[in-house]
């Protein structure tokens, strides 16, 4: 069977549609949203109307019936315009609802999943904790069984969409043992009297609202235990592995945006009568950026293809995420260097893009965590 690296006409149509929407509807909102650090909630309804919130889900479940390749195309094109918007989209359309689709009861899907696909409800995913970081098994939030439900106590940190969410998936320990069935997911409707959400101010993805959550004896009814069963830790792992390919596509979009801005500047800026891109020092930077992006692009879409084939493993997901995220940081820094003084002026996007790229060498598992996973797959302890 011959290899085929081309996108289908359907995928190209998705790219054209999202690119047009991002330029016409999202781009005009970016500056104000970033300055005020407020996410424009109306985007969720608009994304829902276009079917962009359900891209990865079957039509029978209310989704758009597309694949991971389409998901990554959407992420790439959104991130070219604004990573903060794409970050909120990602937290909602994957982390916040994928586990419900994968493991939820029919009633939970009808109550939470379907309204989330239309943008009528916004979701968040409460996993990271102040003391746990990327170590899921170290989480301390606990859930104690009581009559009619559960009582949750603990804290969550750096939770995307928390200040604007209508519901949140919350990971909690339902058993003190350090076993796979000791961690469960709960669907928490917000506001909840036991949840105090503090909005955080950030240097990166400023208009994607992020929260610190203090959970104090919060009651969650039995019908909001995901799948009506404890021990959904494997669902968390599966969700994170696939999403690492997704956020790699976000990183690819940011790298592209930085490169395109630097290329425009290198073409327009004249020094001693020459375009600065014609000077070897700048031309070589642009050449390296173009090569890095091309390499990252095909690793990202190979990872997406593996998701669709059901062959993605955690090591491959980590390779995709590591390469794409580090490429985005490197390319965006070089874009600032090419622009010089203009690179740190807010009228140009490269400073914002570089700040935003730093999210993905930290979030969704740091680059060091990705290297640990890859090293273990090679038979080495790390």
List pLDDT tens digits, range 186-219: 999 999 999 999 999 999 999 999 999 999 999 9
List pLDDT tens digits, range 10-27: 999 999 999 999 999 999
Residue recorded with tokens 């209508």: 166
- Position 2 pLDDT exceeds 70: no
Give the pLDDT score at 301. 98
Distance of alpha carbon 349 from alpha carbon 67, whole angstroms: 31
Nearest to residue 315, comparing CAs of 331, 333, 304, 303? 303
Distance of alpha carbon 88 from alpha carbon 36, whole angstroms: 16
Query: Which H or E run contains 369?
Result: helix 367-377
Distance of alpha carbon 165 from alpha carbon 124, whole angstroms: 6
Output the six-digit token pair for 107.
């009633």
The model's pTM is 0.94
List pLDDT tens digits, range 114-167: 999 999 999 999 999 998 766 677 789 999 999 999 999 999 999 999 999 999
Is residue 158 a contact partner of residue 210, using CB atoms and an 8 Å limit? yes
CATH 3.40.50.11810 fits 123-232, yes or no: no
The CATH code that applies to domain 9-118 is 1.10.540.10
* 311-328 mean pLDDT: 97
Cα atoms in the Cβ-side hemisphere of radius 13 Å centred on 107: 8
Pick the CATH number of 234-377 from 1.10.579.10, 1.20.140.10, 1.10.10.10, 1.10.1040.50: 1.20.140.10
Give the pLDDT score at 205. 97
110 is catalytic: no
- What is the SS3 string spanning 183-250? EEEEEEECCCCCEEEEECCCCCCCCCCEEEEEEEEEEEEHHHEHHHCCCCHHHHHHHHHHHHHHHHHH
Is residue 26 a contact partner of residue 43, using CB atoms and an 8 Å limit? yes
Is residue 322 a contact partner of residue 371, using CB atoms and an 8 Å limit? yes
Is residue 353 a contact partner of residue 359, using CB atoms and an 8 Å limit? no
Is the omega angle on the peptide bond into residue 191 within 30 degrees of 0, that is, cis? Answer: yes
- Position 1 pLDDT exceeds 60: no
Q: Which of 49, 294, 364, 368 is catalytic?
A: 364
Instruction: Break the chain into its structural domains and give their ranges.
Output: 9-118, 123-232, 234-377
């Amino acid at each position: 069977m011959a290899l085929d690296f081309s996108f289908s006409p359907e995928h190209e149509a998705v790219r054209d549609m999202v690119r047009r929407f991002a330029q016409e509807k999202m781009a005009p909102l970016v500056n104000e949203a970033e300055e005020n650090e407020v996410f424009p909630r109306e985007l969720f309804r608009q994304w829902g109307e276009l079917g962009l919130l359900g891209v990865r889900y079957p039509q029978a479940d209310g989704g758009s019936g597309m694949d991971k390749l389409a998901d990554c195309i959407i992420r790439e094109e959104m991130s070219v315009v604004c990573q903060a918007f794409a970050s909120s989209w990602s937290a909602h359309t994957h982390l916040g609802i994928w586990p419900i689709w994968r493991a939820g009861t029919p009633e939970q899907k009808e109550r939470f999943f379907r309204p989330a696909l239309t943008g009528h409800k916004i979701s968040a995913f409460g996993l990271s904790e102040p003391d746990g970081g990327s170590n899921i098994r170290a989480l301390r939030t606990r859930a104690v069984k009581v009559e009619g439900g559960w009582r949750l106590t603990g804290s969550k940190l750096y939770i995307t969409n928390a200040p604007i969410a209508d519901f949140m998936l919350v990971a909690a320990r339902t058993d003190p043992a350090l076993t796979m069935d000791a961690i469960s997911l709960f669907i928490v409707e917000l506001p909840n009297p036991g949840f105090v959400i503090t909005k955080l101010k950030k240097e990166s993805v400023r208009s994607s609202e992020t929260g610190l959550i203090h959970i104090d004896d919060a009651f969650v009814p039995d019908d909001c235990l995901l799948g009506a069963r404890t021990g959904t830790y494997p669902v968390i792992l599966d969700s994170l592995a696939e999403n690492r390919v997704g956020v790699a596509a976000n990183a690819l979009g940011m790298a592209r945006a930085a490169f395109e801005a630097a290329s425009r500047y290198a073409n327009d800026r004249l020094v001693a009568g020459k375009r600065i891109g014609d000077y070897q020092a700048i031309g070589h930077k642009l050449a390296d950026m173009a090569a890095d992006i091309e390499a990252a692009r095909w690793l990202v879409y190979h990872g997406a293809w593996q998701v669709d084939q059901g062959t993605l493993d955690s090591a491959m997901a980590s390779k995709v995420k590591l390469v794409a995220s580090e490429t985005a940081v490197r390319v965006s820094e070089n874009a600032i260097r090419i622009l010089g003084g203009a690179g740190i002026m807010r009228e140009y996007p490269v400073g914002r893009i570089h700040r935003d790229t730093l999210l993905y060498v930290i979030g969704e598992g740091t680059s060091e965590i990705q290297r640990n996973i890859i090293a273990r797959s090679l038979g080495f302890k790390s």
